[in-house]
Amino acid sequence: RLGLSRLGGALTAAFGLLPGLKDRLVHARAQLPGRGEGRRLSRAFAVAVEVVCETARLAQEIAGESERPAIVAIIGVPGTGKTTVVLGVARQLANQGLAVSGIVQLARREAGRALDYRLQEVSSGEGRPFASRAAQGHGFVFEAAGWSWARERIERARAEAEVVIVDELGRLEGRGEGHLPALLERVEAERARLWIVAVREDAADEIERRLGGFKARIRAADGDGAVANAVAQASGLIAERGDGEVAALG
């Protein structure tokens, strides 16, 4: 079965030839006589040009949609349970028989204040230290090895899993940094049909713009309701983009 990313590439390449065909039709139309049979042929050429242009436009839309997985965003301010929600969604989708992977960012807290963060791969449970609070107590110091490990795991999840989890995207990603390059990088034969991303509320609009749009925004503060809503959205989107076998899982 041809993967969605390859289908998009094939459509883009095939219909990339259409603008040249349009120019040739327009040129041929200009050479026709202006009376009788020539007028009828001229009208036929005009219709053909319109059909070519509309087909090219639709093909580009289809190709773009095929290349990009659907995105469900779990949105909230720090401490509202974004990680809890995405882990709950991941468990339920995995119980449906879907391949789920990616990374989550686990916080160690004291009196409601984050002390440090650890990255954990959803499918294996393997983890890496990621960030610790700066000595002066303001901001965090990030581990360079944590960023590179996260990128490798996200890209691997995109190639191997049907659902990719990324927690979290914030101000760095809003500037095009952090985990965002791992999502924007082209992955050959991407298997993923859906990304579920945890997003800080203050960066959500810019991240959505950079990723090309969210199919759904769900507030993490809704707790169990957010999990149920996200699972329903995810199942529907996967069914839309999958084959009959996957659609039946919903």
Give tens-digit pLDDT for 202-248.
Answer: 999 999 999 999 999 999 999 999 999 999 999 999 988 765 333 33
Confidence of residue 188 (pLDDT cuts 50, 70, 90): confident
Kindly report which listed range (60-69, 166-175, 186-195) carries the lowest average pLDDT score: 60-69
CA separation, residue 99 to residues 31, 96, 102, 122, 194 (Å): 58, 9, 10, 10, 11
Confidence of residue 250 (pLDDT cuts 50, 70, 90): very low
pLDDT at 60: 45
**Euclidean distance between CA atoms 208 and 114, whole angstroms:** 26
pLDDT at 44: 60
pLDDT at 34: 57
Per-residue pLDDT for 6 more than 90? no
Six token digits for residue 39: 């007028």
Kindly report which listed range (119-123, 163-167, 244-248) carries the lowest average pLDDT score: 244-248
Share of the chain above pLDDT 90, in %: 59
Angle at 217 between CA 215 and CA 220, to 5 degrees: 145
pLDDT at 68: 80
Six token digits for residue 9: 């590439």
Cα 106 to chain centroid distance, Å, stands at: 22
What residue ranges do the domains of the chain occupy? Answer: 4-66, 69-247
Tell me which of 32 and 85 has the higher pLDDT: 85
Q: Give the global pTM.
A: 0.70
Kindly report which listed range (43-47, 154-158, 229-233, 243-247) carries the lowest average pLDDT score: 243-247
Confidence of residue 3 (pLDDT cuts 50, 70, 90): very low
Taking domain 69-247, whether its CATH number is 1.25.40.20 is answered by no
